[in-house]
Amino acid sequence: MTILALNSYAAGRWVAPSGRLTDLKSAIDGRVVARLGAELDFAAMTAHARSVGGPALRAMTFHQRAAMLKGLAQYLNERREALYELSYDTGATKTDSMIDIDGGIGTMFVYASKGRRELPDDVIYVEPGIEQFGKTGSFLGQHVATSLQGVAVHINAFNFPVWGMLEKLSPTLLAGVPAIVKPASATAWLAEAAFRMMIESGLLPEGAVQFVAGSTGDLIDRLGSQDVVSFTGSAATAGMLRGNRNLLDNAVRFVAEQDSLNATILGPDAAPGTPEFDTFVREVHREMTAKAGQKCTAIRRILVPAAHREAVIAAICEKLAKTPVGDPRAEGTRMGALASLAQREDVLEKARMIGTEARCVYGADGFAPAGVDVAAGAFVSPMLFACDDPDGAEKVHSVEAFGPVSTVMAYRDLDHATTLANRGAGSLVASVFTHDPAVARQVVIASGAFHGRLYFANRDTGKEATGHGSPLPHLVHGGPGRAGGGEEMGGIRGVMHYMQRTAIQASPDLLSAITKSFVKGSTPLAKDVHPFRMTFGELEIGHTLETATREVTLADIEQFADFTGDNFYAHMDEEAAKANPFFPGRVAHGYLILSFAAGLFVDPAPGPVLANYGLDNLRFTKPVSPGDTLKVRLTAKEKTLRNPGHGEVRWDVAVTNQDGEQVATYELLTMNAV
């Protein structure tokens, strides 16, 4: 079989391995699969990223970057089968590979969608909320975010060579920052294949991504204040990197996601025979065997009510005994190998340490994976331990065997359970299986500070439940303490790790110009033509319409009440309304005010406005009494192109009375033809 020579991709060209080469071996049979070794000019690579890749990405809007991500995801999605085949030699089954490969591609799709829906068609991200520092509103403040002008160095773990790469690249590229990717060597051939596909797609601007197949050399020493290091792996390696003098001196951003001793809690209400008990056992089994337990989110500590400990152990052991372990290519195999022989030795050593405090109730004896040479491959038996003294134990709360190894511990009550869960000193995730809302709330209060994610499952979550060990791109992935203290993904939060938040202080006019959003107090654009007669492209931010007036009569209020059925006393009963401290007497319905406002500003003839599809931030700020007169000020606030045919316009709507007092304010959303 051909041995793959893994190339690096540096400064726009592929670089063949050279110098001292490292053999990468199949986790199944130990044969050499690939070789790597890089002698790279990291000064040239970082310069290329900063001077070529960064400017090219920053010239693109968020929407253009999102479209690029979507194209990349589609390109990879069409070529998954080739990646699956390469993945088998990492020890992964087809199901494991789908978690890695499909999961990574899916994450890229999610970021493409979020970039399109939640970010502007611009290069500046504007955080909501304007601060007014004086009475007149002539000096304002707001936070914006702009792309860092450096390079992101991604150091990835061996267990998810594709997902680990794509979940970091997606928010980084969406932020407009170039990246240098360093995969873990043990499974680097799979990462290189996926990376090569991205380059071959032709969708990325030159310098947007580079790839290191081998050592990072002096790369970390060449980073500065505009750069980011995003790391996934062991606490020991993270600690070594954090302590780098150059990173400390330049305050280089460091995002760490480390392995952790994640816990799962069987709720006090989840007795044998309940749906929660059955779901719990299935989830523990899945987390022990998926990716052969090589997941940073895998369940390491199983916390159960003392009364149900033996039932839990028996149920898990029964499922483990029915789990075929062997060649991941073979039909019927449910658990493959660890990623390498070195990893196998590490897992066995850590299991021996755990075994000094806990009894092994399943595993090791007579282990014989099907269809493989157990000595040549990196196979281990699933191992379940039972700890009889979880309070006095230390290693079960501090030693992680990064494989199919987990420990059952009994708790007395829920306070005891959360105390044990928190003994992990910070984890990526803890799960709770309960149908009792009070249990769920108590766990959040007691343990939320110790875990990056809390996953609750019961009979109601059904087939939509994603699982204890599945981080989602929509939610943060990371955790405090042992888990690294960092966050990845989390939707647009993940993008912000690669951007600089800056406080802007300026006049309303300057703030409007900076943010491309109309700010109250800025100079409106008064034009002869009605703004609803303007196409999306013709409409300018700040285009303002001052309407005529309309009186609100008692007859209007009563007719609206009769027509809608809204006979709330504030509109229909004078004495009752006066007794309410908020009203001077009978007042107009809020939605009557909205209806009259629309009647004042809408241009009725067919034109560029295609649809009104909602409003945001509605507030009724002052009651409207019979005899009051309404007037509307309509201003084009923001524009967002949605597709080649139409764009979204956000309008600022202010409704005032005859005294110039604001009675209602909201933001109207319309779709306008381009």
**Active site positions, annotated:** 257, 296
| Long-range contacts formed by 535-539: CB under 8 A, 24+ apart | 535/608, 535/672, 535/673, 535/674, 536/608, 536/639, 536/641, 536/646, 536/647, 536/649, 536/672, 536/673, 536/674, 537/674, 538/608, 539/636, 539/639, 539/649, 539/672
Cα–Cα–Cα angle for 194, 199, 205, rounded to 5 degrees:
135
Alpha carbon distance 492, 507 (integer Å):
28
Alpha carbon distance 154, 151 (integer Å):
10
Dump strand ranges (E) for 499-608: 499-506, 525-526, 543-551
Q: Is 484 left (phi over 0), alpha (psi -120 to 50) or beta?
A: left
| CB of 133 closer than 8 Å to CB of 521 | no
| CB of 430 closer than 8 Å to CB of 264 | yes
Q: Which of 292, 310, 378 is nearest to 31 (CA)?
A: 378
Please report, as a single letter, which amino acid is at residue 600.
Answer: L
| 3-state class (DSSP) for residue 318 | helix
Alpha carbon distance 380, 337 (integer Å):
7
Alpha carbon distance 292, 99 (integer Å):
12
370 φ, ψ (degrees, to nearest 5)? -80, 135
Alpha carbon distance 272, 282 (integer Å):
13
Neighbour-count burial for 275-309, b at 16+ CB within 10 Å, e otherwise = ebbebbbebbbbbbbbbbbbbbbbbbbbbbbeebb
